[in-house]
Amino acid sequence: MAQKPSIPKGTRDFNPEQVAKRHYIFNTIRDAFETFGFQPIETPSFENSETLMGKYGDEGDRLIFKILNSGDFMNVLNRDRSKNFLAANEFLKFFNQFIKDTNKDYEDNLNYCLERYYYPKANKNHERLKRLMLREKNNFIEIVSDDNYSNEDLIRIFIMSFHLEFSFDSKELSNRISEKALRYDLTVPFARYVVQHQNEIEFPFKRYQIQPVWRADRPQKGRFREFYQCDADVVGSDSLWQEVEFLQLYDTVFSSLKLEGVTIKINNRKILSGIAEVIGASDKLIDFTVSLDKLDKIGEEKVKEEMLSKGISETGISKLQPLFSLSGSFESQIESLKTILSTSEDGLKGIEELAFINSAISELGLSSTTLQLDVTLARGLNYYTGAIFEVAAPKDVKIGSIGGGGRYDDLTGIFGMPNMSGVGISFGLDRIYLVLEELNLFPKTVNKNVEVLFINFGNKEALFSLKAIKTLREAGVNAEIYPDAAKMKKQMSHANRRSIPFVVLVGEDEMDSNTYTLKEMISGEQYKVSLEDLISKVK
C-alpha cells in the first residue's frame, strides 16, 4: 500500500512563488545589514545540549528539540543496567557471607569488601553501592543476624532500592540518550560563538545571522516549529550610538520594502525598574510590568485590580496615576517621566538614555517609520538591561510585532566571559511576509520567471535553439527549451500555465534564414527577428 505523503506538524513546504517572495525579504534585510557594516556568521543547526539547556527558562527548555544519539544506545543502556545489577547482586552475596564471618564494624567491613572486590574505586557505581548499603545498614544487620534469612532473601529485599539507586538520574539519562539539540534561537549560539572565538574577533563585533531555528511549540496560525530568524547584534560596546543605528537600520529595511506606517516602540528597562522602585514594588518588578503591559488591552481599572491581586499596595498604585494618562510627543512624555521618577536614580538614568536616542533620531530623521515612547513595553524583561525595542506593523494590518530587540549587559556571561555588553534586533520574516502580502507590496518582478520558452520541433531545431538560448542566458535573460517534441498545443499551454511572456518558434525557414519567430503570449502578436533583436525585445 502506498504511503500517504505528509510533513511534520509545524513545518511548511514553499512553492516557487513563495520562495521568491521570501528571498526578496531576505535579500532586502541582508543588503541593509551589510550596508551598516554587519558581518555574516553561521552556526550549526544543532548545538551541544548543555549549550542550550537552562538558557531560556523552564518553558523554553521544554520547547527544545533534542536529537537522539546515533547508535544502538537503548541496548547499551540496558546492557549497562544489567551488568551493574548482576555485579551488585554478586557483591551482596559476597558481603553478606563476609559480615557473618567477621566481627569488624559494619562500615569497615563494607570498605574492606569494596576495596578487595572487583568494583574499582573509579567506578561511580562503587560509590553508589556504598551509599546505598550505608543507608540500609540497619536492614542488613537485621537480616545477617537472623538465620532464617538467606542470601536470596537479602537480594530480594534490596532489589527495589538497588534498582532505584542504580537507575540513571534524569540528567544522566538525558545525556546518554541525547547529547545534541536543534538550536532554539540565534542568540545563545551567538554568545557561544563569541566566547569560543574571542581571540579571533575584533571588538566591537557587528554580526548578522539569517538562519532557521526550531521549537517544539504547539503549531497554530502564525506559529511554526521551524522558522527563520534574521538577527543583527553589536557586542563589545555600551555606546548608545548603536541603538541609534539600529533604529536607522529598521527604517532602512522597511523603507526598502515600501512598507510605510511602521511604528518602532522604545522603552528602557531602567525606567521600568525606577517605576517599580517609586511605588515600593521593586521586589515585584515582573508582576508589575506584566500587568502594566496589558494597559492597552484590558484598560486602566483592570490593570489596577490585577496589580492589587499581586500584592502591590493601593498607595503604590495611586502613584502610577500620571503614568496611566501619559501621552503626547516623545519629548513631553520624557518631561512627565522626569517628575514621576525624580527620586529614582535608575529611572533617571533610563530617561537620560532615551532622551539621547530621541535627540539623535530627531536630528538624523527617519524616512518611513515613526519612533514612539511606550513605557508599558516590557518584552524580554529578564534579559534586557537597557533599551527595549518592538516594531508594530501599520495600524490597518492586524498582526503581532514584526521585530524587536534591546540592550543586554552580559550576553556571554553564561559561558564564562562576563561583562560583554551588547545590543541587538531581530526581524520577524514570516509576519513581514504576511504584511507585504496583505498590502500587496511585493514587486511584480519579485518572482523572476522564465522569460522565453523555445518550442521544440525536433532534435535539429532543438540544437539550433539551444545555441540561441546560451546567448540569451549570457545576456541575463532566463530562457529554456521545452524538453520534448510534443504537440504545439501542449507546449503553448505549458507556457501559459507558467505565465511565460514570450515563446520562440524555430523551424526549417528560421534555421535557413538564421532568424527566430517571436510570439508575445499576452497580445498574440508574432514576428521574425534576428538574435540581437530577440535579446533586446525580451530583456
Which residues define the annotated binding site for L-histidine? Answer: 185-187, 215, 229, 233, 379, 383-384
Residue 10 near residue 217, CB atoms below 8 Å: yes
Inter-axis angle of helices 285-292 and 300-309, nearest 10: 160
Report d(CA 274, CA 344) in Å as an integer. Answer: 5
502-505 sheet: strands from edge to edge: 479-481, 452-454, 502-505, 516-520, 526-529
Residue 418 near residue 241, CB atoms below 8 Å: no
Cα Rg for the chain, rounded, in angstroms? 35
Residue 131's contacts (CB-CB under 8 Å, 6 or more residues apart) are: 165
Report d(CA 427, CA 377) in Å as an integer. Answer: 18
In 3D, which of 444, 450, 464 has the Cα closest to residue 505? 464
- In the structure grid, which three cell numbers stand for residue 408, read together? 543586554
Determine whether 26 is exposed, middle or buried from the number of CB atoms within 10 Å of its CB (0-12, 13-18, 19+): middle
In 3D, which of 327, 282, 286, 52 has the Cα closest to residue 186? 52
- In the structure grid, which three cell numbers stand for residue 320, read together? 502610577
Chain position carrying cell 536614580: 345
Cite the annotated binding site by residue number.
185-187, 215, 229, 233, 379, 383-384
Residue 356's contacts (CB-CB under 8 Å, 6 or more residues apart) are: 240
**Dihedral, CA of residue 518, residue 520, residue 524 and residue 530, to nearest 10:** -20
455, amino acid identity? I
In 3D, which of 398, 424, 435 has the Cα closest to residue 258? 435
How many Cα atoms within 13 Å fall on the side-chain side of residue 493?
Answer: 5
Cα-based angle 54, 60, 62 (whole degrees, multiple of 5): 95
Report d(CA 445, CA 61) in Å as an integer. Answer: 42
Cis? peptide before 204, omega within 30° of 0: yes
Residue 375's contacts (CB-CB under 8 Å, 6 or more residues apart) are: 267, 271, 272, 275, 292, 323, 326, 333, 337
Report d(CA 100, CA 163) in Å as an integer. Answer: 25
* 3-class DSSP state of 171: helix
